[in-house]
Amino acid sequence: MIDFTLLQSAGIILLGLIIGFLSGLFGVGGGFLMTPALKIIFNIPYNLAIGSDLAAITFTSMYGMYKHYKLSHINISLGLIILAAMLPGVEIGARILVLLHTSGSIMINGKEVANLDIVLNYCYITVLITAGVIMLLEYYKWKEGAKTSRDLANYKTGYYFFKKHSKTGVHQVNIPGLLFCGLLIGTLNGMLGVGGGFIIVPLLVNFFAIPAVVVIGTSLFIICPASAFGTLTHFLKGNVNFWLVLLILSGSLIGSYIGTSLTDKLRGKKIRKYFVYIIIAGILMVFFNIFRQFGYITF
């Protein structure tokens, strides 16, 4: 059981407010920042931070999903296909986390560092850099080329397994590709405590050519049930602290409302540009944690 001081509680609420704002604005769960921040700033063990953060993401994304549904930003068929593979991935990721948590530690520069911390730090850096590079390249590609927007009123999505259909005016999406993405994102969800939006958004926008505004709403539709399932499996493994969940939600629900309200005021490509800045902040945070754990930073 972790006892939080008044200052710690206020800090976690403020952190929840910031992460909730990002969740609503960018269509991401925010776990890629929340989990490292809980570890770095408040010294909460990774396994508890991951399980508790997933519980908070469930409620935050639920509200954001409802707001985007009212704005007609959700493609339900697309979301259900991804979820079909994402839920098994969540369980795989949670089991990997348990194995890492029980795998012991090693000595680095005279300091004992848990194997769990080492592996998760590098995992966070890898996925953040990947998502940031993809989004940055796409933004500059748009900046150099045409900036015409897609007519969302007439936009339609079709699906195929091995061969595209010949329907005119319908954007075709490969189902095996979506299932592979769902399995990958689900594993990250269960293992890292991330909603997956920071990967879902660039993947669907850049590799499946789906409009950014539609992707943001759909990503929250995917994140909500996947995180709920992740919360359940982590609770059964002892990785959820409900007081911590309550503190995070105290700020994140308000932040999510504010962020979602601003989404329609940003064009799809502008959302990508600002998204890169958030990813850079996450990368710097994780690098700071690595240097501190390895004894290169002493405060």
Q: What is the pLDDT of residues 122-179, one digit of tens each?
A: 888 887 887 778 767 767 766 766 554 555 555 677 777 766 766 666 778 888 989 9
CA angle 281, 282, 288 (to 5 degrees): 90
Task: Tell me the pLDDT of the chain averaged across its residues.
Answer: 81
> Is it the case that residue 191 has pLDDT exceeding 80?
yes
| pTM, 2 dp | 0.79
Average pLDDT of the segment spanning 34-53: 89
- pLDDT at residue 270, rounded to an integer: 64
- pLDDT at residue 282, rounded to an integer: 81
Written in H, E and C, the secondary structure of the chain is CCCCCHHHHHHHHHHHHHHHHHHHHHCCCCHHHHHHHHHHHHCCCHHHHHHHHHHHHHHHHHHHHHHHHHCCCCCHHHHHHHHHHHHHHHHHHHHHHHHHHCCCEEEECCEEEEHHHHHHHHHHHHHHHHHHHHHHHHHHHHHHCCCCCCCHHHCCEEEECCCCCCCCCCEEEEHHHHHHHHHHHHHHHHHHCCCCHHHHHHHHHHHCCCCHHHHHHHHHHHHHHHHHHHHHHHHHCCCCCHHHHHHHHHHHHHHHHHHHHHHCCCCHHHHHHHHHHHHHHHHHHHHHHHHHHCCCCCC
- pLDDT at residue 152, rounded to an integer: 55
> Is it the case that residue 261 has pLDDT exceeding 70?
yes
Average pLDDT of the segment spanning 277-299: 80
% of the chain exceeding 90 in pLDDT: 23
- pLDDT at residue 90, rounded to an integer: 94
Determine which of 134-138, 172-176, 262-266, 291-295 has the lowest per-residue pLDDT on average. 262-266
